[in-house]
Structure 1
Amino acid sequence: MSDPVVQSVQGETMGTFWSVRAVVPAALSLASRVNDLQAVLDLVDGQMSTYKPASALSRFNAAPGGTWHVLPAECFEVARHALQVARESDGAYDPTVGPLVNLWGFGPDAARREPPARDSIEAARERIGWWRIKLDAATHSLFQPGGIYLDLSSVAKGYAVDQVGQYLDNTGIASWLVEVGGELKGKGRKPDGSPWRIGIERPGAATGAVQRIDQLSQVVCLSGRAIATSGDYRRRFDAQGVTYSHHIDPRTGWPVPHAVASVSVLASEAMQADPLGTLMTVLGPEQGMACARKRGLAVMFILHGAQGLEERLSPAFEAALAS
């Protein structure tokens, strides 16, 4: 058998891009697995997309109130995890926040240039509430109470990363780095024995805006763990001197007022890291860091400070950098 080498393939899914780097024998071609890899991703997208009317999730969202709906096993697993994070966070993270996201112009509807009316916000809040959804694990069923719009976009990409990794494991590929839309997970090591490393850039950092070159980014080893990053630097609008982020606090109906530029979370599984990035952004640097310390979460905040971008790392994240 020929010596192993790193090979790469990529494609598109969920309105973004995916890529796989893997260690395989030189005589074999990772490109021959592209269709299988795409099929894994298409399965997740086909079940959980809110942009596809025929997806299992879209059918649930469009269903009349008072009805139960059997979901595919994968979709049910992701929905159950999202609702668990909502329960554990007392609703600071809520996968039913979609109507508010759409109202603020950050969903499929037209973008906004000014905040919506307060009565419109209150009307949308009437449709929010993770606790209104009932689950039946025995039948993989969800109860639609009426008007609930479940959005799994903050979990599905992470789940897709994990599923691609599982596929690679099942085919005997033991060392890989998978990315879907900025969510990553790595396993094993490269042929030279080095781990998979990724850099976390400081969003919007201009040349000379930081004191040391190592403040431009953190380098994290992903051999055996996943990372998810959530940021405000691409989707926001300004009105009358106020910046409104696409991160909506489901408890208030308004965009989070914090100076959070981005949050990165490390976890053993990408599906775990993905929604925690959203949760930390909603909680903000003070409550979020307190939560991270209490639960032993590896979290890095990048904040808009008076002197530019500032970093705050939880003890678990600092320990991960050193490992």
Structure 2
Amino acid sequence: MIISCSNETNIHSYSGQALGTSFKILYASDEPLKNIDVLTDSIFTEINKSLSTYISSSDISKINDDIDSIKVDTHFKKVFNKSKLIWKSTDGFFDPTIGLLVKAYGLGPKNDSKIPVNLDSIMNLTGFAKVSLKNNFIIKEKKGIYLDFNAIAKGYCVDVISNMLKNRNINNHLVEIGGEMVASGKNLVTNNFWRVGITDPLNPSSNNYIKKILLKNSALASSGNYRKYIIDNQTGKKIVHTINPKNGNAFNTNVLGVSVIAEDCITADAYATSFMAMPIEKSIKMISQLNNLEVMIIYNKEKSEVEIFSTDGF
């Protein structure tokens, strides 16, 4: 959530709803950007047409229906290629082929709260190694593999909007979509970097923040079990939006929330999702081996004691 905002005349604001959540853009300019609504809405429309599993006519929905004649656009290629890189670097804990698991757990477009009866058959269609991009076409080793880039699409969209502003020489801005954000330049009202807050995962509906930071020409993404879950009708268990692609489980872990600072939001978004799915020990080890990332992980230790791990630069 954004902390710093102002009604000063040189700080302009544009906000609304998109990608199933809210967005807000703050930017410094002598005059409001002409047609910012058209420019921004066209980006949302393009990305939805390419990557939204909630739109049956989108490219990804057609690919998920095993239509192999779809030539993907630049948005799709950038997200796919970035996903491949992070899939490799996270040892498969970031995996966009968990789409069938998302649907089976009732976390997808139809929101059916049903636990998969045959998890093995679904896992047989999971694994990003089974999907490739060749000559602008998606190649799947098996029919029925279902792609879902929702864990990275918001972050990518933030980057696209930020780049649109930079291309118009608006270099001091803050773009936020559903808690994922990019800060560029400074808040000229305070003449300092953009000040933002990280939601407390134990009190997500309040105005309390577990930490406030100055975001310096970088991106911030957060992921947490508090953001999206359903209750299974049969077991009464909370099913969270983070799924472990290694075993197909989507139940609560001791990780409550993850925040990642990176050079761009697509990277921060993907790693925040990955560290939510990993055991805390594996995350900490992996973080020590990655460059250009700052990470904070909030988790339950023994006896429900809340602990915070963070890198030195967070």
Letter of the structure 1 residue corresponding to residue 248 of structure 2: G
- Aligned pair 1:319/2:313, yes or no? yes
8 A Cα contact 2:184 2:216, kept in partner: yes
Q: Which residue of 1 aligns with 2:295?
A: 299
Listed one character per residue, the Cα deviations across residues 209-245 of structure 1 (whole Å, up to 9, x for unaligned) are xxxxxx9521122231001101101333367575432
Q: Which residue of 2 aligns with 1:133?
A: 131
Q: Which residue of 2 aligns with 1:202?
A: 200
Q: Which residue of 2 aligns with 1:35?
A: 38
Displacement after TM superposition at 1:36 (Å): 1.1
Displacement after TM superposition at 1:58 (Å): 1.1
C-alpha distance in 1 between matches for 2:307 and 2:280:
11
8 A Cα contact 2:259 2:295, kept in partner: yes
Runs of 4+ that moved beyond 6 A: none
Letter of the structure 2 residue corresponding to residue 171 of structure 1: R
Listed one character per residue, the Cα deviations across residues 4-59 of structure 1 (whole Å, up to 9, x for unaligned) are 7111111221111111000111xx12474221122122211221101111111111
The match for 1:227 among 220, 226, 242 is: 220
After TM superposition, the structure 1 = structure 2 runs for residues 277-296 of structure 1, keeping only pairs within 5 Å, are 277-296=272-291
The match for 1:171 among 164, 168, 173 is: 168
Question: When the two structures are superposed, what TM-score results if normalisation uses the length of structure 2?
Answer: 0.88
Displacement after TM superposition at 1:90 (Å): 2.5
Q: Which residue of 2 aligns with 1:48?
A: 51
Out of 286-295 and 141-150, give the one that drifted further: 141-150
RMSD: 2.3
Percent identity for Structure 1 against Structure 2: 27
After TM superposition, the structure 1 = structure 2 runs for residues 208-247 of structure 1, keeping only pairs within 5 Å, are 216-236=209-229, 237=231, 242-247=237-242
C-alpha distance in 1 between matches for 2:304 and 2:127:
39
Q: Which residue of 1 aligns with 2:249?
A: 254
Q: Which residue of 1 aligns with 2:16?
A: 11
The match for 1:269 among 264, 277, 296 is: 264
C-alpha distance in 2 between matches for 1:242 and 1:54:
34
8 A Cα contact 1:202 1:309, kept in partner: no
Listed one character per residue, the Cα deviations across residues 177-207 of structure 1 (whole Å, up to 9, x for unaligned) are 001111100000122311101111212249x
The match for 1:142 among 130, 138, 143 is: 138
8 A Cα contact 1:69 1:143, kept in partner: no
8 A Cα contact 2:238 2:251, kept in partner: no
Q: Which residue of 2 aligns with 1:107?
A: 108
Listed one character per residue, the Cα deviations across residues 131-190 of structure 1 (whole Å, up to 9, x for unaligned) are 111222xx3222133111111111111111011011101111110000111110000012
C-alpha distance in 2 between matches for 1:190 and 1:246:
34
Displacement after TM superposition at 1:102 (Å): 1.2
8 A Cα contact 1:56 1:71, kept in partner: yes
Tell me how many residue pairs correspond in the alignment: 299
C-alpha distance in 2 between matches for 1:116 and 1:140:
33
8 A Cα contact 2:104 2:112, kept in partner: no
DSSP 3-state at the match of 1:70: coil
8 A Cα contact 1:183 1:227, kept in partner: yes
DSSP 3-state at the match of 2:244: coil
C-alpha distance in 2 between matches for 1:31 and 1:106:
38
Out of 101-110 and 50-59, give the one that drifted further: 101-110
Out of 251-260 and 227-236, give the one that drifted further: 251-260
DSSP 3-state at the match of 2:10: strand
Question: When the two structures are superposed, what TM-score results if normalisation uses the length of structure 1?
Answer: 0.85
User: Which runs of no fewer than 5 residues in structure 1 stay unpaired?
Assistant: 207-214
C-alpha distance in 1 between matches for 2:81 and 2:140:
14
DSSP 3-state at the match of 1:179: strand
C-alpha distance in 2 between matches for 1:272 and 1:224:
14
Q: Which residue of 1 aligns with 2:26?
A: 21
8 A Cα contact 1:9 1:31, kept in partner: no
C-alpha distance in 1 between matches for 2:236 and 2:108:
23
C-alpha distance in 2 between matches for 1:242 and 1:15:
25
Out of 151-160 and 300-309, give the one that drifted further: 300-309
